[in-house]
Structure 1
Amino acid sequence: MRILLTNDDGYHAPGLEVLEAIARQFSDDIWICAPSEEQSGAGHALTLNRPVRLVKFAERRFAVTGTPTDSVVMALRQVLDNPPDLILSGVNRGANLADDITYSGTVSAAIEGALAGIRSVAFSQVHTAASIASGNLFEAASQWGAKVLAPLLDAPLAARTLINVNFPPVAAAAVKGIRVTRQGFHDYARGTVIEGRDPRGYKYYWFGLDPIEHTLDHGTDLEAIEEGFVSVTPLQLDLTHYSTIGVLAERFGD
């Protein structure tokens, strides 16, 4: 089985090492093509206004001067002679839960894989101040990653779907199990905008990442993580709101 690995934290991110260790429990045919620098929050962006460069670090190991989407595109069109059987993205440093998945470069890399008809899974390790202080940033992902991935390798998935996995911010022994969940939604709050001035006196603005309040609806990814479970969420790329089609068709006389 050929597996392509990518992420949005960058080629040198420790989470990519964790992902490779997970992948090697299933195959030796591992390829890496990841952004050369961190691309968190890049979403499904594709670089169109400047050239993208491909850097080879070693056999089957490449970096791209672009986004996670760029990395998957380059891997499929320039690096690999045959498509991979599986694309894994992550392990992201931080959560990709609820509506935040729309910003996620980690999830978007898996989206690009799904669009290409390749089974794709995104992995993220949720962090809290306490888990960061413990120093075991990826313990849950390291110990539970293969357990989560194994059943997904041959699970029947519809076209243009992908799997979004989040690991709770607890020690591996404290993980309560695995839950299949639906996408939750945060109570909207996008954090602060911090104003500063550069050395030449011009204003700049930096988005702050304040904690986001949310209501824990039953069966969601947010609830699973809050209760110490690994969250496994199937996502689809069809964003059409079908029940509104008829309403709008009446308005436009269709």
Structure 2
Amino acid sequence: MRILVSNDDGYNAAGIEALVAALRPLGEVTVVAPETNCSGASNSLTLRRPLTVRQAANGFHFVNGTPSDCVHVALTGLLGFRPDLLVSGINNGANMGEDTLYSGTVAAAMEGYLFGVPSMAFSLVDREWRHLDCATRVAHDLVARFRDRPWDEPLLLSVNIPAVPYRDLAGFRTTRLGRRHPAEPVIRSTTPYGETVYWIGPVGRALDGGAETDFGAIEAHAVSMTPLRVDLTDHARTDAVARWMADRVSAPEAR
């Protein structure tokens, strides 16, 4: 099995190094990851400058771009083959609820999924890398299961792992995304030159965190597995929009 690995924390992050070590017994692993930390980059692509790809001493390829850049370049010219699975992570922190819209970790997996490659994004719900060994075992378990029981069609799976010892995991749950309260206010500061600057504030607390959500699973010390889709259409509201426009003429008036 050929596995493409990427992340958003950068090619030298502890999470990707541990992930690759866990996956190497399962197949041929190739790493294409950002040169620097790109947390919060979402699905952005670099279009106004060229990208460079270099290779580190450990064999990892790194790109001076975003997570989506890395996967895009890998799949459209760098690799020369189509991977059987794309794995992104292990992220330094949770990607639950609205986090998935901003996450570079999820974006790297989504880029693979857009090219028809089955993709998994792994996130450890701790920013101090506590119990990273638990997260790597979970990643190994799920990728091994994919090897033995591949999906019938490509899937985009976001996996969040609680920061507990592996023996204390309360199983695996298939979940939906929860919701957060709005983010905390920005943090205002001043540079030594007197210029006012702003830091984005902390994420909001869980608003919708029922047992069936990613928040609920993590609260119960279970691994959360959320299948994601790219279609952002609010299908339940299409009729409402059509009714809202019902009394308008069929064609815009000439100006």
* Shared fold, TM over 0.5: yes
Corresponding residue to 2:165 among 160, 167, 171: 171
Q: Which residue of 2 aligns with 1:14?
A: 14
State the 1:112 CA deviation: 0.4
1:247 to 2:246 alignment:
no
Alignment partners' CA distance in 2, 1:84 and 1:170:
31
Q: SS where residue 141 of structure 2 aligns?
A: helix
Is 1:156 aligned with 2:151? Answer: yes
1:86-144 superposed Cα distances (whole Å, 9 cap, x missing partner): 1000000100011111010000001100000001100000017xxx4xx7341320222
Shift of 1:215: 3.7
Name the CA shift for 1:98/1:158 in 2 (closer, same or farther; >3 Å).
Answer: farther
Partner residue, 1:217: 210
- Secondary structure of 1:237's counterpart equals coil
Partner of 2:92: 93
1:191/1:212 contact within 8 Å kept: no
Instruction: State the alpha-carbon separation in 2 of the partners of residues 229 and 109 from structure 1.
Output: 24
Q: Structure 2 matches for 1:120-199, cutoff 5 A? A: 120-127=119-126, 132=128, 136-153=130-147, 154-156=149-151, 158=153, 161-186=155-180, 188-199=181-192
**Count of residues in correspondence between the two structures:** 246
| Alpha-carbon RMSD | 1.9
Query: Radius of gyration: which is bigger?
Result: 2
Displacement of 1:157 in angstroms is: 5.1
Counterpart secondary structure, 2:25: coil
CA distance in 1, matches of 2:209, 2:6: 31
- 1:227 paired residue number: 220
User: C-alpha separation between the residues in 1 aligned to 2:119 and 2:225?
Assistant: 13
Q: Secondary structure at the match of 1:4?
A: strand
| Residues 1:118 and 2:113 aligned together | no
Structure 2 Cα separation of the partners of residues 231 and 239 of structure 1 = 22
Shift of 1:48: 1.8
Give a deviation string over 1:175-214, Cα, whole Å, max 9, x none: 111111111111x221231111222221111113256243
Provide the C-alpha distance between the structure 2 equivalents of 1:150 and 1:211, rounded to a whole number of angstroms. 35
Quote how far apart the aligned CAs of 1:54 are: 1.3
- Structure 2: how far apart are the matches of 1:194 and 1:250? 43
SS at 1:48 equivalent: coil
Alpha-carbon separation, structure 1, partners of 2:35 and 2:120: 21
The 3 A distance-change label for structure 1 pair 191 and 152 is farther
Question: SS of the residue aligned with 1:214?
Answer: strand
Instruction: Note the residue ranges of structure 1 that are not aligned, 5 or more in a row.
Output: none
Inter-partner Cα distance in structure 1 for 2:96 and 2:14 = 20
Structure 2: tracts of 5 or more residues without a match: 251-255
What's 2:66 paired with? 67
Could you tell me the TM-score, scaled by structure 2's length?
A: 0.89
Say if 2:118 and 2:153, in contact at 8 Å, map to a contact too.
no
* Number of the residue aligned with 2:23: 23
Q: Secondary structure at the match of 1:89?
A: strand
TM-score for both structures, normalised by structure 1:
0.90
User: Which amino acid is 2:125 matched to?
Assistant: V
**Segments of 4+ in structure 1 off by > 6 A?**
none
* 3-state secondary structure, aligned to 2:119: strand
Contact 2:11 2:60 in 1 (8 A): no
Identity of aligned residues (%): 38
Which of 194, 201, 213 matches 2:194?
Answer: 201
Deviation at 1:85, TM superposition (A): 1.0
State yes or no: 1:237 paired with 2:230.
yes
Determine if contact 1:76/1:83 at 8 Å carries over to the other structure. yes
What SS class does the counterpart of residue 90 from structure 1 fall into? strand
Q: Compute the displacement of 1:152 (Å).
A: 3.4
1:59 offset after TM fit, Å? 7.8
